Structure 1
């Protein structure tokens, strides 16, 4: 790399890599005869394999040891690049448009964050590429008979900004799409989202960044524009117990967070039991139950033990229970208290609601509207 320095219409070159002393000597030669006068020295140009490097280094301070070291680092990095990498670096700088020496060094060391498509140099090229790769990406699918009538330039123009790319002399350059890792926390749910014949598997719970990535992949601005085609749960039985009616991505994400907490606290079976009794008709109702899980309690199958627990809740201590042992039918007491407390038997155990007790189980003739034969 060669820098061209200028002062009072005089010029001189400075080879990079260099040292602070060499730079000072070059500058001294440039201002010879004007040492006692104010002189502004500028970098007027650069000779480098990267044709658009100048805007990024024009304000480098050649009297600063730190900036000289950065120039040396950048020069070494460029010289170590293949021709394809140099083209990618040039394209990345053109894509970013603005920056300084620090940013140029950063981009040079981060080329894996960019990609170049040499054959794409116009909106029409981009549109054709997107349609041709639909079988891989699942996007921009059109019937074969419709392809002769497609406006490829318009498709490319609409997607250029979405992709965050720029056309350069060496092709289309864009930042690599970094799909957020969705396994940072154990998953609780999997939603299948669809929009415009595209689908996206969204693992929940998801961060804001992951949710935005899902929208971008589907080409939508709001999840209301997508259809939730399916919802699956990692915990058993929930697929049958939680309805899909009124489900939204936002509520599903909150549900996934609740399910993580329930699993951690060992309360999944209690939630399943409550769902079996309550039979929520909408996803929102099921979510409210998960949020209010402390309003439910799984209890022992033993009527005797339930009777003893009921007495404890009434204030009886161990001495009282011991004193009435043998004189009290705890089984009968437990059975009556279960009925009074609205305890319901489910496939996941006995459960009761601590606030308002569950209503009694309807008799068979009541369920049939009082009709019998």
Structure 2
């Protein structure tokens, strides 16, 4: 898929994959790349888990995963699904009955490796439950939990072993005439993950779930994920992503969207373009951007805002953004609207004023989008 015919150096051509549904969310094909996260509350604490799901959804999560390790969690899952604004994926490991219970509880997808849940009969029972309840499956290969025979064959976790594992699980589903699945091959090593995903993309047309597993804390994990996922997405690989951070799930969603926004693959909320600041700055850029990021979190409309400390790059950046502010010295700066100089504003009032301008622009964009949709109908 070409994203920009006018500027061919920005084109990303998505890998062709078949499309499945995770509840109401299409994954694969020409569907937008969806963003996922996972709760870290006790699943049996329904109120806390639902609150975390809702916070993630408010931040933009399309899908949320919930761990289902025991029967009590299965019972809680039914309540969580009923209150969730987004499809819920049930994270299942080894115990086939949890998979059946999760499908019956309304999970939109089971994260389960069919080769790890016992006899062929048990596998068939889980697949039948998924089929009966219109539940998709994610095969989740992880470098840290590869099958013994593959470790013996390859000597250590490696891309070949991960892809072999994934293809073995795929064959089990296909042998049972089940095709409503997606797949991931995650590792904490960026090189291993990238190589495995590239091999996998050539070996199957199944939708691919991207992730760098156990990436680390907010800062280090964001960087590692941006490098690993960003390069794969740039190559056109990936239909849904989860950024795995030792942080609040909301932060995972934010980072996921920022990675997609940087590549022009998804647009949500305000994309702030700001300078690192220097001695030329006409106002405190860093504090201003921090304040604006918080004040503009409620904006969901895709739009751009430039905050530049001086006139060296400020006017040029403002030409490309919906709203802009450039420092000009003497306690005031220039406000730009739709790329053009509009009016001056004092530094001490500019944050409130910029928020107002962004809100007005967002409202205008929404009205224009609605009018265009109605005209198309």
TM-score range, shorter chain: under 0.3
Greater relative CO, 1 or 2 (CA 8 Å, sep 6+): 2
Q: Please tell me whether Structure 1 or Structure 2 has the larger radius of gyration of its CA atoms.
A: 1
Give TM-score, length-normalised by structure 2: 0.23
